[in-house]
Amino acid sequence: MSFGLLRLVMRSWSRAACLSLLWLLLFYTYGRVYGTLANLGFLRTSVSRHLLLLLIWAGLGALSVWISTWKLASQTWIVSASNIASVILVLFPAFTIIRYEMINRPAKSLSAEASTGSQPAHSYPDIYYIILDAYERADVMQAVYGYDNSAFISALIGRGFYVAACSQSNYAYTQPSLASSLSFEYLDALSVTSNQQADPLFQENATRQFLAAHGYTVVAFETGFRWSQWEDADVYYPYRPAANLLNGFEALFLQTTLARIPLDIVQSNQDATYGVIPHDRVLYALDTLKDLPTTVAGPKFVFVHLVIPHPPFVFGPDGDLVTQGAENATSIEGYRNSVTFINQEMLQVVDSLIAGSETPPVIVIQGDHGAPLYHSPFQRMAILNAYYLPDHRGILYPTISPVNTFRVILDSYFGQGYPLLDDVSWYSPTNREYDFTAIPNECGQ
C-alpha cells in the first residue's frame, strides 16, 4: 500500500521502489543501532539516545527522498534491485516466524502423538525434575527472610519425600548449576569455563541422552530463557500469551526496528516482560504438569524450570498477579509471597503426579541456587532439595547436592553404578560467574 502511495506521489515506479527500499532499511535498522549504542553506554538515558537517533534518521529519510529523485533512480535496473532487496527483507522475518511457529506448534497435538506410542517392555518410572529457581533452604529462609517453611517441608515428608536438610547447590547461578546437575559432573571435569560452553551442554546433557536411549519420552516447557528451553523435546509445551500481549519473539523483533520508540515510551513490552507473561507462563506450566501422567504416555522424563520464587516477584500469596515493585530483587515480601504460592501449588502437583501414575514416579524438587537476598556465600548456596524415590531412599543423605542427583537415580533404577562425588559448592560473585571459590557447608554448626 505504501509503495502504491509513493508511486502516486513520485509518478515513477523505479523512484518509488528506490525510496521504499531505503525507508525499509531505515525502519529495520533503527533498533539494532540503538541497541549497539546502549550496550556501549553511549549517552546516559534512553530518551537522549532516541532523540539523537531520531534527528539522524530524519536526516537520512530526507536524504533518501533526494537520492530517489536522481536520474539514476529512474533506471529500470533500480526496480529489479529494489524488488530483490525487498523480497530478502521480507523473507528473513518470514523465515524466523515460520521457524518459531514450527518449534512452538501446539502442545496438545504433540502430546497426542506421544500418547499413542507403544509402551516399552520394561516398566520404568516417570521421572520429573522440577527446578524452583532461587528456592532457599528452610533454615536460611528463616534467617534471612523470617519465613517459617517447616509446614511445607513436613507436608513433603508426609507424602514420602526425603528432604536433604543440609543441601547446598554446586554453583551459584542457574546456567552452571543446571549444566552440572544434568550432566552429573562438575564443570571443571567437563572443561566448561563460560555460559557459552555450558548452554550446549545443558541442551544435550548426559541425563537426557541416557533416558532417551532407554525409550523415555522427553517433555519440556517454555521458560522464557532460550538456553533452558528444550524446544526439540519429544513433547514441548510453549506458553502462548493472550492476543493483546507481545510474545517473546514479537517483542524481540519489534525492538530491532523503528517500532522500538513507541515500545519504550509506553513500556508495553516491559509490562509483558515483568508482569503478565512470567506470571501466566508459570501458571500454564503448573496446570499442564498436573495432567501429564494421563496426557503423555510413559515412561517420560519431564524437565520443568519454573522461574519462581526468583524475581520478578509477580505473585501474591494466592497466585494473583502483582506488578508493583516486581523487579525489586531484594524484596522480602515479594519473595515470601512467591514461596507461599509455589508451596501450595507444588503439593497439588505432587498429589496429581503420584495419584495419576500407574508406576510410582520419581520426583525431584530442587532449587538451582539460593535466594537473591543473602548475607554470605554460604547462604547463597543453600537450597531446597527434595526427592521422591519409592523404595530407594536409603542412599540419600542430608548434604547431598545436585551433582549427585542423577547418579543416585541412574544407579537406583537402572543399575549404572555411578559412584557418588564429593559434595562441593563453588561460589562465584555477580558478573564473574566462573570465578569459583569453594564454600564449606556450615549447616548445623
pLDDT in tens, 137-163: 999 999 999 999 999 999 999 999 999
- At residue 38, the pLDDT reads 67
Q: What is the mean pLDDT of the chain?
A: 82
Which regions of 45-150 does DSSP assign to beta strands (E)? Answer: 127-132
Q: What is the mean pLDDT of residues 234-251?
A: 68
> Is residue 45 helix, strand or coil?
coil
Query: Residue 303: pLDDT above 70?
Result: yes
Query: Residue 66: pLDDT above 50?
Result: yes
List where CATH 3.40.720.10 sits in the chain.
Answer: 120-439
Of 95-104, 271-280, 321-330, 403-412, which one has max mean pLDDT? 403-412
Q: What is the mean pLDDT of residues 1-16?
A: 55
Torsional class of 425: left (φ above 0), alpha (ψ -120 to 50), beta (otherwise)? beta
Cα gap 188→424, rounded to integer Å = 12
**At the topology level of CATH, where does 120-439 sit?**
Alkaline Phosphatase, subunit A (3.40.720)
Pairing between strand 437-439 and 425-427? antiparallel
- At residue 115, the pLDDT reads 40
Cα gap 215→194, rounded to integer Å = 32
Q: Does pTM surpass 0.75?
A: no
pLDDT in tens, 332-366: 999 999 999 999 999 999 999 999 999 999 999 99
Q: Taking the CA atoms of 302, 401, 223 and 356 in sequence, report the sign of the dihedral they define.
A: positive
